[in-house]
Structure 1
Amino acid sequence: MAHIIVVGNEKGGAGKSTVSMHVATALARMGHRIGTLDLDLRQQTLGRYIANRREFLTKERLDLPTPDYAELPAIAPGDLQPGQNADDQALGRAVEAMHEACDFILIDCPGSHTRLSQLAHAMSDTLITPLNDSFIDFDLLAHVDGEGEEIIGPSVYSEMVWSARQMRSEAGMNPIDWVVVRNRLGTTAMINKEKMQRAIDKLAKRIGFRPAPGFSERVVFRELFPRGLTLLDLRDIGVTSLSMSNLAARQELRELIKALNLPGVSPDF
């Protein structure tokens, strides 16, 4: 059965779709069969990313590894049994259709609390939560005091993840491997960055996640989106000399893939 990776939090602008596309493409390039779903039914950023990729590859007559992508099926009211929910049925059918054909299924969630997102979290074997490196975004995980030193209590998102873990436990499923990815890390040792590190480490032990480094803020991500490309594709499209920024970004992706520790995935690629 496919290993389900869910990329989610309840805050926009944290880089969920960038992480989703790069992780999915990295797995595809490593020879793994990967299917993707985008539960942000309004924005559909991951869906547009993959559509852009297919259009570009067709136009340029290139054949690069590309994640499969599926839309959620429409559920007619007449197809529902008493007590069934259309969102539950749509996601369940989409995942079931991919399970046997894929090694991994990656689900990109919206930056808000929805029933689809809640259900996806309960399905996740690996949960990736991108987090911008600031206390504004840290509030997604927990509330802290005015000095940013003491954790007052968990956030509603952390409670939702805890609820998803309880559902899996009651169903006899393996626990969720929760990885919090710190995006847009500063390049200098600022006081705020050090406070964030202490708060992340303290909270990781308290509510049970693994912190991992993510992506720095780089223009290249915005430049690649219209063509549906990732950092791993640059040499394949004729970019023979990578800038220091691009090389650093590729290394960040390698470190992220290693940190995820996905089953059957080599740490070196």
Structure 2
Amino acid sequence: MAHIIVVGNEKGGSGKSTTSMHVATALARMGHRVAALDLDIRQRSFGRYLENRAHFIETEGLSLPLPMLGALNAASPNETDPLSEAMSELDPVHDFILIDCPGSHTRLAQMAHMLADTLITPMNDSFIDFDLLARLAPDGKVLGPSIYSEMVWGARQGRQAAGAGPIDWVVLRNRLGTQAMHNKRKVGSALTQLSKRIGFRVAPGFAERVVFRELFPRGLTLLDLKDVGGETLNMSNIAARQELRDLITTLNLPGVKVDF
């Protein structure tokens, strides 16, 4: 059976598609069979990222790893559950299936969370994003879980009732800046406190870098730059590659040995 990785957060702009693309292509680059699903039916940032990659590979005659992009059958007789149909086709022939969820609460996203063996929740390093995980008092004390944490808790309960394994939940601190150290410490302290209460691991994600916005039109990732002619690896790109390496290592996925 494939290991299911779900990238979810009910807030847009947290870096879900960038995280999904880099994790999926990193696994493919290491020789794993990877499939991808984009549940954001309207925006499809992750799906278009992969389509851009396929087009760039074809037009440039390159040989780059390409995760298989699955599709939801909108004409399925079982319109209430097109996800299960897509998963049944992808599961037997892939090692990993990565599902990117929309930045809002939908039925498909809720179903995807129940399938997750590993759940990655990217969040901007701010208390605005933190509010989706927990409610805070003005003095910084955690009052209780918020809407997204409650949805994850429901998914965990559903998996337990179905006899499935636990969800390894990793909260990813994205867009970490070099300034505002006081705010970073406060957010970090609040996340550490909350992680012990509701059961997730905290991982450093990607800093705010221009390179991520430049890669999307060609469907490239940080790991592709050395394979594309004319690209120069500057210090920022090298640091970003290390961030990706640290993330894949922290995820501790089955059968994955980081070798890039």
Q: TM-score range, shorter-chain basis?
A: over 0.9
Q: Name the CA distance, whole Å, in 1 between partners of 2:46 and 2:179.
A: 31
Give the aligned residue type for 2:114.
A
Q: Name the CA distance, whole Å, in 2 between partners of 1:240 and 1:40.
A: 31
Q: Name the CA distance, whole Å, in 2 between partners of 1:21 and 1:32.
A: 14
Q: What is the CA distance between 1:180 and its match in structure 2? A: 0.2
Question: Contact 1:33–1:102 at 8 Å: present in 2 too?
Answer: yes
Give the aligned residue type for 2:209.
R
Identical residues among aligned pairs (%): 66
Q: Name the CA distance, whole Å, in 2 between partners of 1:93 and 1:21.
A: 23
Q: Name the CA distance, whole Å, in 2 between partners of 1:66 and 1:267.
A: 18
Partner residue of 1:137 out of 129, 138, 144: 129
Q: What is the CA distance between 1:262 and its match in structure 2? A: 0.3
Is residue 67 of structure 2 the alignment partner of residue 72 of structure 1? no
Q: Which residue of 2 aligns with 1:122?
A: 114
Alignment of 1:42-121 (within 5 A): 42-76=42-76, 79-80=77-78, 86-88=79-81, 90-121=82-113
Question: Contact 2:30–2:259 at 8 Å: present in 1 too?
Answer: no
Alignment of 1:1-269 (within 5 A): 1-76=1-76, 79-80=77-78, 86-88=79-81, 90-147=82-139, 149-188=140-179, 190-239=181-230, 241-269=232-260
Mind listing any 5+ residue stretches in structure 1 that lack a counterpart? 81-85
Q: Name the CA distance, whole Å, in 1 between partners of 2:169 and 2:152.
A: 9
Mind listing any 5+ residue stretches in structure 2 that lack a counterpart? none
Q: Name the CA distance, whole Å, in 2 between partners of 1:145 and 1:16.
A: 28
Determine helix, strand or coil for the equivalent of 1:37: strand
Question: Contact 1:258–1:268 at 8 Å: present in 2 too?
Answer: no
TM-score (norm 1): 0.94
Determine helix, strand or coil for the equivalent of 2:123: strand
1:223-244 CA distances to partner (integer Å, 9 max, x unpaired)? 0000000000001002464111
Question: Contact 1:224–1:230 at 8 Å: present in 2 too?
Answer: yes
1:156-208 CA distances to partner (integer Å, 9 max, x unpaired)? 11000000000000111100000000001122461111111110000000000
Q: Name the CA distance, whole Å, in 1 between partners of 2:196 and 2:230.
A: 43
Give the aligned residue type for 2:128.
I
CA RMSD, 1 decimal: 1.1
Q: Which residue of 2 aligns with 1:83?
A: none
Question: Contact 1:261–1:267 at 8 Å: present in 2 too?
Answer: no
Determine helix, strand or coil for the equivalent of 1:256: helix
Q: Name the CA distance, whole Å, in 2 between partners of 1:239 and 1:4.
A: 36
Q: Name the CA distance, whole Å, in 2 between partners of 1:219 and 1:67.
A: 24
Q: Name the CA distance, whole Å, in 1 between partners of 2:135 and 2:221.
A: 34
Determine helix, strand or coil for the equivalent of 2:80: helix
Q: How many residues are matched? A: 260
Question: Contact 1:99–1:105 at 8 Å: present in 2 too?
Answer: yes
Q: Name the CA distance, whole Å, in 2 between partners of 1:268 and 1:59.
A: 28
